[in-house]
């Protein structure tokens, strides 16, 4: 496993590091988050959420709402970046992040 990408937001005071075995669009990736100034986390059971790449976060949220799904964070820019994300919740209360995938090919 290697570092595929690193993103730092000085304004929002966080750093993201993406780890994987192949390109992000070709395989599963683990995202590690460091929030500056946070000394303790309540991790509960240790599971935060999973993320799924979608072509259009805005359309995905509309479709989910049409099918009576629960959108808990509407599609929009991730603060300090140019990534569009949204969060939904499954019937058991687990969060799923939708990440708009920009194909750079």
Give the catalytic positions in this structure. 97
Contacts of 82 (CB under 8 A, 6+ apart): none
DSSP-assigned letters across all residues of 6-55:
EEEETTTTEEEEEEESS-GGGS-EEEEEEETT------TTS--EEEEEES
3 state SS of 105 = coil
């Amino acid at each position: 496993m290697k570092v595929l990408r690193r993103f730092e937001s000085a304004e929002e005071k966080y750093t993201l590091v993406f780890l994987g075995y192949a390109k992000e669009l070709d395989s599963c990736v683990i995202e590690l988050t460091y929030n500056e100034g946070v000394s303790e986390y309540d991790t509960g059971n240790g599971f935060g959420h999973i993320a799924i790449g979608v072509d259009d976060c805005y359309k995905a949220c509309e479709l989910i709402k049409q099918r009576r799904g629960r959108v808990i964070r509407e599609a929009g820019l991730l603060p300090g970046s140019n990534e569009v994300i949204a969060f939904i919740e499954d019937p058991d209360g687990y969060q799923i992040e939708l990440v708009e995938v920009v194909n750079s090919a």
